[in-house]
Structures are given as C-alpha cells and as structure tokens.
Structure 1
Amino acid sequence: MRVAITRMLPEANATAARVRDLGHEALLAPLLSVEPREFDTNLAGAQALFFTSTTGVRAFAQATTNRNARVLAVGDTTADAARAAGFDDVTSASGDVIALAALAQVTLDPQAGPLIHIAGAQVAGDLVAKLKAAGFDAEWRVGYEAVATAALPAAFEQNPEIVLFHSARAAAAFVALGAPNSADMVAACFSEAVAEAAMRAPWKRVIVAPKPREEALLAAALTREGA
C-alpha cells in the first residue's frame, strides 16, 4: 500500500523506514515544518524538564549543552530521543499528557522546585495547567513553532491509500487544504484527539491507534492483524 506520512521532518524519515520494513511504499508528505524560537534555557532550581515530543527534545538540545536535568517524557519515543540527546535521568509516561501529569504527581514533589515544559507555540492537552492544578510551579517555554504548509505536499499526487496523522495539527492542516480525495483514503490517527481533527473531512475509514505509540499506529493501520 502507498502510505502518506504527514509528520514533520526529520522524524518522518524514521517513520518511512518503519513503513518500508512492513512492506509498504512510504510517501513523505509533511504538513508541518519547524521554525526554531529563542527561549530561556536556564534550568537553575528546576526540579524536572518535561518533553511531549521529539521536536521539543531537539529544540532544547540544539539550544544548550545542559544535560543535567531530570527528564519526564510523554512516551517511549520521546524518552528515547532524550536519552540519545545525552540526558541520563529519563522517565517515560508511556502514554499521553494525562499520563505524564499523573507520573509527575507520583514521582515529583510540589515543594522541590519548578517544572519546565519545552514545547511548541501550540500545545495539545495543556500539561502546565494540569501540573499547576496538582500544586506544582510549572512553566511552558516555547522552543519552536510548527507551521502548516501553504500547499499540499506533492506526495498526495501519488494517490496514497493510507494517510498517517501523528498530530491533530497535521490533521487540521490537511483539512484546511481541502482534504482532496479523503473519501478514497484511510486516515490512521495517533490518538482520539488526532482522529477528532481528521474527521472534519470524510474518509473511507478512520483508524485510531489503541495506544499513543507509533508501533501501535503502524500495527493498526498496516499489518494484517490491525487491518
């Protein structure tokens, strides 16, 4: 099957390799691009650093050489990216923002210092609000902005059968560009929130990963067991 991968580069390249390993044709079709933003990288007194995407990890790693912070990551892929960037103390929530906030409540102390979330200019789930509601001093620092493409990627001219959406913003960008031929394609979505954004267009079928992990998304969308 021809599979359009809408996530940002360079992460889309790793997804494409996994799609090919499963025996399918991978079409790079990023609907968002990253624009770096200057931000405060001072972590003096901070209890922990939070990442909800590999893009956030990359933004921080490119902005500073500081790798001394304790890191809490939303999922295993993000945690792996943090370790690869040089962080030693990394814990994964293996889930979503709700799971990450819950992890903070059982592993961190509201009196032990502020929590810093490095993320994009638009975030889903409002992690900082959840942490503040739990009694923590939490701060959101914008390390980058994900900008929607002005035109549909050329890969969609190759008539993909499945479109992978890793984020609600990518799904919304596709809808904003008119969602051409969506009724003839399957939308495979990373989570229910992503599916909600995608379903503003008509699809042949919408698949939602049973867990917010890429391996679960690909299994649901591309393997015989998931199809």
Structure 2
Amino acid sequence: MKKLEKKFFGIKKEMLSRPKPTVWVTRSLPAADRSSKNWSYAGFNPLTFPLLEISKPSEEPNLPLKKGILVFTSGNGVRAFSEKTTERDWSVVTVGKETQRLARKFGFEYPLTANGDSRDVANLILNNFSKDNNIYHCGGNNLQGSIVKDLLQKGYNAERLVYYNSTPIKVKPSINVNEIDYLILYSPLAARTLVKYQFNLLGVTVISISKATKDALGTLKGVRHKVSKEPNEMAIIDLVKNLEVMND
C-alpha cells in the first residue's frame, strides 16, 4: 500500500487543508471499486455511480485454440474470459499496464503490453508474432479500435470474441451533480449515456480517457472538458491533480 501511495501521489499541503475535491467515477463495476480506491489514495472524494452495466452474452464463444494469441483491451475482457475457464495456456497481449496487471492477477504468465491504444496493440502483434498464430480479440459487444481489421489486412487470422456485454444503465443515477467537481468518463459509450440523461453539468470539469470519448460527449455549455494524455487512470489522476494546483 505504501508503494502505491508513494508512486501515485505526493499530495500538496494546500490540497489537504481544504475539502477534498469530489470525483464522479462513472465506470462499471467491479472496476469502479478499484478506481474509487485509487482516487481516495490520491486525496479526492470519489462517488461511484456507474453509467454502464456488465452482463454475460446470451451465447458465449468457444475457447480459442491454444496456439492462438489472446488480446485484451479492457479489464472486463480479462475478467469475463477468466471466469469462463481456469486454463491459462495462451500467450496474451494487453492494451496497457492496468490490463496487463489484471491479466497477471488472473494467472496469465508474461503478458505483453502495448502503450495504451489499439494501434499500439496491432503493431506489437505485427512485431512479435508470425501469421501462423491465430489472434483472438477477447472483449465486449462495444469493442473500440480496429485491431482485428488491421491484422486481417496484414494477412493474419484474427477475429473478435464477445465474452461480455456492456450496456447503458436503465435508470438515471441519483447523484447530486452540485456536489461534483470532476466527472470521469472511461469510454465513448459512457459518454453517450451521460448525454442521454441530460445532467446540468455547469461548473463541472469533465475528464475523458481518450479523444474518442471526448468526441462522443460533444460540447456541453458551461462545461470544461479535458482529455487524458494517456488512456489510463494514473494519467487521469495526474491531470486532475495538475488542474487542482492551477486552481489554487
């Protein structure tokens, strides 16, 4: 715990002397629980109200061939696949360090990781695996990026396998937005769901994990909107900390 706190966050004294900024964590459970802890360690007051729900598809795919390469671009993909089987004999490629960490936690040895987006994933595969390997992008029904398409164009055998569904919540979150300083969006689908419920976010700073997420939200009157330099939570937290320093 001490290592995580030290690595994450040297919090300025000024931030400790005033009320903690409140952050709306919109990502789905159970990932939202870990995010909430991360924000707490960083000196913020997180409120968890997911905009998306995770569920199993009505029909799950068969397990990939053992000589294949599994590609995970989200923690939900790692969890959903790992719940389907106890076998861990595949080579694994992940989109970033957070997903790599989770893959290791679930028992996959030596997962390779890209630098945070689908283009990096495709390039990593092109540079490290031959066309003899089948590539399986294991994820949800709203997969972002064009990994499979890019690999098919390069002559690889690649396919998408849907192990979970990510869908918008059906009831508007009962959150008091007047208490919110920062709203964190983790996906384009979450951004579109936020628009659907027409919150009055005047005075709230929205942080998107990627440009695609920002574009999905569009422009909201009176709302400051920033994009993380890298598509991971540590980069988002660093961005918000810097904004807090600028606000002092």
TM-score range, shorter chain: over 0.9
Shift of 1:198: 2.0
Give the equivalent residue in structure 2 for 1:183: 202
Structure 2 residue 38 is matched with structure 1 residue 18: yes
2:168 pairs, out of 139, 148, 152, with 148
* Higher-Rg member (1/2): 2
Q: How does the TM-score come out when normalised to structure 2?
A: 0.86
Q: Which moved more, 1:144-153 or 1:201-210?
A: 201-210
Aligned alpha-carbon RMSD (Å) = 1.6
Shift of 1:184: 2.2
> What does the per-residue CA deviation read over 1:144-177, in whole Å, with 9 as the maximum and x for residues that have no partner?
1101012221234563111001111111110111
Q: Distance in 1 between the 2:104 and 2:45 partners?
A: 30
SS state at 1:184 partner: coil
Shift of 1:45: 4.9
Shift of 1:203: 4.8
Q: Which runs of 5+ in 1 are unaligned?
A: none
Q: Distance in 2 between the 1:51 and 1:137 partners?
A: 17
Shift of 1:200: 4.4
SS state at 1:201 partner: coil
Shift of 1:182: 1.9
Shift of 1:202: 3.2
Identity %: 27
Q: Distance in 1 between the 2:53 and 2:203 partners?
A: 26
1:44 pairs, out of 51, 54, 65, with 65
Amino acid at match of 1:176: K
Q: Distance in 2 between the 1:62 and 1:158 partners?
A: 39
1:35 pairs, out of 46, 51, 55, with 55
1:75 pairs, out of 96, 112, 121, with 96
Shift of 1:226: 7.4
8 Å contact kept, 1:184–1:204? yes
Structure 2 residue 127 is matched with structure 1 residue 97: no
Amino acid at match of 2:220: A
Structure 2 residue 221 is matched with structure 1 residue 208: no
Give the equivalent residue in structure 2 for 1:116: 136
Q: Distance in 1 between the 2:190 and 2:228 partners?
A: 16
Q: Distance in 1 between the 2:45 and 2:200 partners?
A: 19
Q: Which moved more, 1:203-212 or 1:57-66?
A: 203-212
Give the equivalent residue in structure 2 for 1:217: 236
| Aligned length, in residue pairs | 225
8 Å contact kept, 2:205–2:225? yes
Q: How does the TM-score come out when normalised to structure 1?
A: 0.93
8 Å contact kept, 2:192–2:216? yes
SS state at 2:138 partner: strand
Q: Distance in 2 between the 1:52 and 1:86 partners?
A: 17
Q: Distance in 2 between the 1:164 and 1:226 partners?
A: 19
Structure 2 residue 168 is matched with structure 1 residue 170: no
Q: Distance in 2 between the 1:196 and 1:157 partners?
A: 22
